[in-house]
Structures are given as C-alpha cells and as structure tokens.
Amino acid sequence: MTLLDDFLVRATLAGLGLVLAAAPLGCFVVWRRMAYFGDATAHAAILGVALALAFDTSVFGGVLVVSLLMAFTVSSLSNRGYAMDTLLGVLAHSALAFGLVAVSFLHGVRVDLMAYLFGDILAVGVPNLAVIWGGAALVLGLLWWRWSALLTATLNPDLAFAAGIDPRREQLVLTLALALVVAVAIKVVGVLLIAAMLIVPAATARPFATTPERMALAAIVIGALAVIGGLQASLEWDTPTGPSIVCLAAILFTVSSVAQALFGRSRP
C-alpha cells in the first residue's frame, strides 16, 4: 500500500495543487477587477464537458478548449464598446444554460452533474493528480515567466506601453492561465466554486500584503488552509467537500476584513 492509496491524501494533494495555480492567478483577477471574467470562463466549462462526452474525448481537453474560446470571446468583444458587466453576465449564464441543455441530449452516457457543478475532490485518482499538478506547474511557470510584464500592464497600461510591453498580449497570457485553472479545477471544486477559489484567498490576503509577491504567497497559504480545514470539516460533519472548502475560505476572508477594520491595516 502506498501513500497515494489513501483517498484523503489524494484529495489534499489535489486541493493544494489547485491552490498553487489559482491563488497567484487570483491576485491578478482581484487587481484587474476580473471576477466576472473568471466566472464566465468557469460557466463555459459545462459546455466543454458536454461536448467532450458527446465526442468521446478527454473532459479536460474539452473544458480547456471551450474555456479558452469563452475567454478569447470576452477579450475580443470587450474592445468593441460592450459594457463589460453586461457582456459577462450574458455570456456566463448563456454558456451555463447551453451546457446544461447539451448534457440533456446525451443518451446512454451517465453524467453526474453535481460532481461537475460542485466538484468531487474525494474521488480524485492518481491520473487526476497528474493532470492537476501538471496544469498547476504550467500556470506557475507562465506567471513566473511573465510576472514583471503582467504586473506592469496591470498597474499602469501607459507605463507598460512606454516599457515596450503590450497590455493586450499580457491579457492573453492571463486568459490562457485562467482557462488552464478552470480545466484543472473542475474536478476539485466544480464549475460554480472555481471563481470563489480564484478570488477569496487573494481578497483575504490583500489587506495585509505589502508587496504583490507577498500577497501571492499569502493567498497560497490561505488557500491551503481552506483546503486542509475544509476537508477535515467535511469528514467531521459529513458536508459537501467542495462547498466546505469555499466556506472556510469565506470565513477566513471575514476574519481578515474584521481585523482590517479593527487595526486599520489596509493596502492599496
């Protein structure tokens, strides 16, 4: 018997792999105020699941392709005069609805929608771990490579242009990383909770971080605490695991907000 034969060890490793990718990426989502962007990309994942099952291909590949298409669509249309909040609202809910309708047309295929909507982290196997950690490594490598350029383009697009950095290119880098995280996370926390794992740890770390790098590291630590604590709470009280993880992350955010209000340590 090996360590990976324990389902709880596999679930913990899967959650930590997701956090390593989602937490630093979530910092850019918070800084750029792209919360709805992540939500729209995540909702499109259900359509990717339906198409993958219909054509008998990899669910990971189907989710990745559709998430990329959604992200590129949002990026393209946002530059053509559409109000961003309206555009994201239309695309997010439309993608989810089309995905659910597409699933209903699949005959002879058993689809556990609850697992895709809310995650099934306790059922993660060794092949899933390889996909999750491989995707996390790609996202971390991408962010490490483009960190300075992404940060400059996020803080001041005019300064980025002056430094020879194309903000639109950096937006595409974030789009690719976001699609990868969605494809990786669907098995762990599900479509409806992916955006929470992107945003909540980063938002919790923000008031107490003195530099962008420290905020990213703090978000990883907070996300890891939410994963480990949420798993333990789920086993103790027999609650849904994915939502339990997000609930603990939300509690940590509340504690952070209260501490900020009491001690007045707010960072821009």
Identify the pLDDT of residue 252.
95
Q: Would you say how long the chain is, in residues? A: 268
Q: With bands split at pLDDT 50, 70 and 90, how would you rate the model's confidence at 58?
A: confident
Q: Quote the CA–CA distance of 224 and 129 in Å, as a whole number.
A: 16
Please choose, from the candidates 37, 34, 36, 70, the residue with its C-alpha nearest in 3D space to the C-alpha of residue 51: 70
Identify the pLDDT of residue 86.
75
pLDDT of 219 higher than 50:
yes
Identify the pLDDT of residue 268.
47
Residue bearing tokens 């099952």: 53
DSSP states of 132-178: HHHHHHHHHHHHHHHHHHHHHHHH-HHHHHHTT--HHHHHHHHHHHH
Q: Mean pLDDT, the chain, as a whole number?
A: 84
Identify the pLDDT of residue 109.
64
Identify the pLDDT of residue 228.
95
Q: With bands split at pLDDT 50, 70 and 90, how would you rate the model's confidence at 237?
A: very high
Assign 106 to helix, strand or coil.
coil
> Of the ranges 11-20, 28-37, 204-213, which one carries the lowest mean pLDDT score?
28-37
Q: Quote the CA–CA distance of 120 and 43 in Å, as a whole number.
A: 17
Please choose, from the candidates 92, 119, 95, the residue with its C-alpha nearest in 3D space to the C-alpha of residue 190: 119
Q: What is the pLDDT of residues 137-195, one digit of tens each?
A: 999 999 999 999 999 988 888 888 888 888 888 888 888 888 888 888 887 778 777 88
- pTM reported for the whole predicted model: 0.87
Q: With bands split at pLDDT 50, 70 and 90, how would you rate the model's confidence at 208?
A: confident
Average the pLDDT over 194-215 and give the result. Answer: 90
| Radius of gyration over every alpha carbon of the chain, rounded to an integer in angstroms | 18
Assign 196 to helix, strand or coil.
helix
Q: Give the whole-number percent of the chain exceeding pLDDT 70.
A: 91
Token pair of 107, please? 């005959």
Sequence letter at residue 261? A
Identify the pLDDT of residue 133.
92
Identify the pLDDT of residue 250.
94
Please choose, from the candidates 40, 38, 191, the residue with its C-alpha nearest in 3D space to the C-alpha of residue 115: 191
Q: Give the whole-number percent of the chain exceeding pLDDT 90.
A: 30
Average the pLDDT over 22-48 and give the result. Answer: 83
> Of the ranges 1-10, 46-55, 127-136, 215-224, which one carries the lowest mean pLDDT score?
1-10
pLDDT of 224 higher than 90:
yes
Token pair of 177, please? 């990383």
Identify the pLDDT of residue 79.
62
Token pair of 136, please? 């996390």
Longest dimension (CA), the chain: 59
pLDDT of 244 higher than 70:
yes
Identify the pLDDT of residue 111.
65
User: Which positions ≥6 away from 29 have C-beta within 8 Å?
Assistant: 35, 37, 38, 178, 198, 199, 202
- Helices and strands, number each (H, E), in the chain: 12, 0
